[in-house]
Structure 1
């Protein structure tokens, strides 16, 4: 079964554990109830898609235990025998409805389409069908999850049935890890910045995923799986007017000009080197690079440190180049056997390494004509995608492969020099988008983490376009709360609102 194999072959141990636990719950339910007595509530959202494929895998494994040979399942593998309940609503997104019916056709779902409210529709269905248990895609954090366990009887006043919650303990991260690892289709709205989909009247793209297109200047949204903090999953749930001009793009109340001014380009940083991972050397280049990117208004969404291994580099670059505006990679450049960066980048783009005469001339001018063939190895660059970034202050140009910039720096002095050259090139050629810098506020308090946790969580919903973080410089030191954003007015407003949430004198602004 393809789902079971995909999860089994992945390297994500957390996902494997979540998957095995969920499938175990499903198999328990299928052992307790006949197949005619169970149903599956499907709404086209990401959680129910996860549950659908978990049920497919769980049912397959359940049947596998009941037969002696795999071939006995051959004629029924394409059928999904569990009754599927779909509540069709006039308030649903058209994309959700379309995706639901496409999914039903692909996986042979037996749809019971209900057009009443959930409770009334369920009462009518259970009067005519012998359903005793319903699989639900409820997760901790959902409004309906309070007090539920993996097996929970229905609430008083509802028709009697057993609620089965296989993914109750799954996080937002777990959901997307499963979908991306399994490579199963999901609703297109999630690629448009929607992270939690309700009705057309209460759902907008999550502003935490907004970016400005440098070409058109319009606000666009990164896919839902790029949301850094799953606790902000429902930040896109808001009340909208039922009468809306379809020509106006939703931007959480900001104008196009404001959105362009506050856009936040994203970067990933990749360091390559076994010595860093072994703790033999302290990596100063990566953290300094993150600070430099922050200083020009960029946010770093991921910082990977990798083995000097071609496959490791290829996998990381492949993942980051499609989810970040720019990827910066350093380390592992040279003629040594451990210098795997260029080969890894080439593999991630599906191209070969080929000699570059122009780059070889630079290497020759540095190493001299007495050098060995190693310089020729270094002059092999990813074919057809490599752009040399020339600057008079650099003895050898930097390299850019589409949205991947390759730095030669091995220490802070070299990084400072290369960074200054990049900024100059950005100003003259648009290599990097130099955006409005962040405005920051720092607050200090002696309150405990528990005392500040809830107010800070509420602030993240009230101010979704700000970065709100916490840290302590020492174990017993005060808690420092940071608020950062492109809009200085919003940062100040958030600071004042946060101070009001605590008793007077318990929180103060610091420099």
Structure 2
């Protein structure tokens, strides 16, 4: 259980950490106020309810062990420490939901009380017979029933009297998935198949924005594979099925391995550069970009959902490695370069870390961020000297041994010839088991002996800026091939004559609440500008309609004549 707390702490993400421990404190104060025998937890098997389940478990374990919130270990017994768990079972529930609730009940010994019939009548019985005075719920702001609710909120008039306790009321859709992915706790399998909000089998479908597009480049139909539901990507027909006969069994094994890794987009092996199965599959729920579409699958079964092309968030973390960066001896130019480049192709850089040349620090950070973000890009620590320890850190983070690859060694020996040394061959070492080489050509057209190494979802790049920029081109092409074209970011920036941010703060607060998750809003003071601007306000979104709506609302609320100028889709302020 304490692995949940430790996983949140290891993220070093103050945003999620603050929300998690606030929710834990909320639970503990509720226990102080009412006592465990007067508390109940409404568990419905959905993602929000699952988060609350583990917040409750963490809170009760920490409380029962008498530990402060952020250290130590605890021995925790079954269930929720005396809190009653209940589940309203309906005939139109998804089988997967019922199976998940049953599995969680067994795994955590929750002793879930199954209830049937009318929800309101069931609560009346629960309150009157069981003495329940407060119920933990998975309600979040933005839910249809969340209007006017607070973290502690009395039940509505006409309902049985109890206190609604909403520990994750202020959590966003992204927060929920950041927690579930960081802690590796189980959740209902429907969320891995395009469902983003669960109702009944009659009114819930996979969310159409998550429908995986099928994109191919220079596709040659393979008669062997087509019978098995696959297609090959090749430059020419001669490249297909001429290498070891493209044995189906080997390809099937490769496909199975890729299916076990959700981030895998291509299947290497046996002469085929990539394989994809054409089955109308959906991306996992955590990849939904436009959170306004969270409940888009909750509709009439016969209704057609409007398609939103590539409305999928792809997040990246940058890990910049080097004592010289931390000491200020060398300016970090790689971070702004990578941020600009990733942003330009629709990726959101969600975190940047700068680390020393220490294996333990590198492995700890990579282990954490590789679980939360879609890709990680490292910079630095790849040379032949003693302080180049990035590869060892990557290996440790992935729980693999550092091994010398024959293919990489062969490339180095061919390049350096008789001058090759043991120091050169250090650059042939990489984590065992999960390595993909991303090749690129040198200026003379020959393949580089130093390919980009992709270890699971970690791209490992050099720290020397001009080398990183050369290799970035290969990474960019590889990302585009693997994910398809992502929806680009669009932006509007307004230059204001005032330099008083307090004058615009209330307006920005209202806009942030209204467009939360769909439009990014920022305010940036400037000095010495030629037009006399004191503040630049920035709006950014992948959704053009939401961006225009936010722009119109912002202009309406700003004082007349305060806007000096406007720029769109600029890479700088």
Residue in 1 aligned with 2:271?
none
CA contact (8 A) 1:398 1:406 kept: no
2:282 is aligned with 1:220: yes
Q: 1:388, 1:431 → 2: CA distance?
A: 12
Structure 1 residue 242: Cα displacement: 2.0
Residues of 1 paired with 2:64 and 2:547: CA distance? Answer: 58
Asked whether the 8 Å contact 1:194–1:205 carries over to 2, the reply is yes
- Out of 507, 513, 529, the position equivalent to 1:451 is 507
Output aligned runs, 1:342-353, within 5 Å: 342-353=391-402
Q: Per-residue deviation at 1:239?
A: 7.6
Provide the C-alpha distance between the structure 1 equivalents of 2:522 and 2:26, rounded to a whole number of angstroms: 37
2:567 maps to 510
Deviations 1:108-152 (A, max 9, x none): 334443444433332233333333333334456656556656555
- 1:223-273 per-residue CA deviation (whole Å, 9 max, x = no partner) reads 42x668xxx65531248542328xxxx7x512xxx736x777655443222
1:472 aligns with 2:534: no
Alignment of 1:134-283 (within 5 A): 134-139=135-140, 151-167=152-168, 175-176=176-177, 178-180=179-181, 182-198=183-199, 212=213, 214=215, 215=276, 220-224=282-286, 233=291, 235-238=293-296, 241-244=299-302, 252-254=305-307, 259=309, 267-283=316-332
- Contact 1:212–1:264 at 8 Å: present in 2 too? no
- Alpha-carbon distance between aligned partners in 2 of 1:75 and 1:426, rounded to the nearest angstrom: 46
Q: Distance in 1 between matches of 2:210 and 2:396?
A: 29
Tell me how far apart the structure 2 counterparts of residues 124 and 474 of structure 1 sit (CA, whole Å). Answer: 61
Please say if residues 27 and 59 of structure 1, whose CA atoms lie closer than 8 Å, have aligned partners that are also in contact: yes
Confirm or deny that 1:40 pairs with 2:41: yes
In 1, Cα distance between equivalents of 2:25 and 2:125: 30
Q: Offset at 1:219?
A: 6.6
Aligned pair in 2 of structure 1 residues 158, 108: CA closer, same or farther (>3 Å)? same
**Aligned equivalents of 2:118, 2:495: Cα separation in 1:** 48
Cα distance in structure 2, aligned partners of 1:417 and 1:182: 36
**Alpha-carbon contact 1:81-1:110 (below 8 Å) kept:** no
Deviation at 1:342, TM superposition (A): 1.6
Task: Give matches, 1:24-63, under 5 Å.
Answer: 25-30=26-31, 33=34, 35-59=36-60
Residue 377 of structure 2 corresponds to residue 328 of structure 1:
yes
- Runs (5+) with no aligned partner, structure 2: 67-73, 216-275, 497-502, 528-532, 569-573
Q: Partner residue of 1:338?
A: 387
CA pair 367-470 structure 1, distance change in 2 beyond 3 A: same
Spell out, residue by residue over 1:309-345, the C-alpha distance to the aligned partner (whole angstroms, 9 max, x if none): 3344334444555666654332111122321222223
Task: Give runs of aligned pairs for residues 389-428 of structure 1, distance below 5 A.
Answer: 389-393=439-443, 396-401=449-454, 403-411=457-465, 413-420=466-473
Query: Does the C-alpha gap of structure 1 residues 270 and 132 become closer, same or farther in structure 2, counting only changes over 3 Å?
Result: closer
Distance 1:148 1:468, change over 3 A: closer
* CA deviations over 1:252-301 (Å, ceiling 9, x no partner): 512xxx736x7776554432223323443221123212323344455545
How many residue pairs get matched? 476
TM-score (norm 2): 0.66
The 1-side partners of 2:300 and 2:4 are apart by: 42
Quote how far apart the aligned CAs of 1:187 are.
1.8
Distance of 1:239 and 1:415 partners within structure 2: 42
Give 1:11's aligned residue: 10
Distance 2:362 2:76 in 1: 42
Say if 1:472 and 1:124 are closer, same or farther in 2 by CA, change over 3 A.
same
State the alpha-carbon separation in 2 of the partners of residues 312 and 101 from structure 1.
40
Check the 8 A contact 1:219/1:259 in 2, yes or no. Answer: no
Q: Distance in 2 between matches of 1:239 and 1:390?
A: 42
TM-superposed CA distance for 1:42, in Å, is 1.9
- Establish whether residue 355 from structure 1 lines up as the match of residue 412 from structure 2: no
- Which deviates more, 334-343 or 41-50? 41-50
**Whole-Å separation in 2 of the counterparts to 1:454 and 1:400:** 45
Correspondence for 2:261: none
The superposition leaves residues 330-388 of structure 1 with CA deviations (integer Å, 9 ceiling, x where unpaired) of 21111223212222233344433333455446656777856763223233333453536
How far off is 1:41 after superposition? 1.9
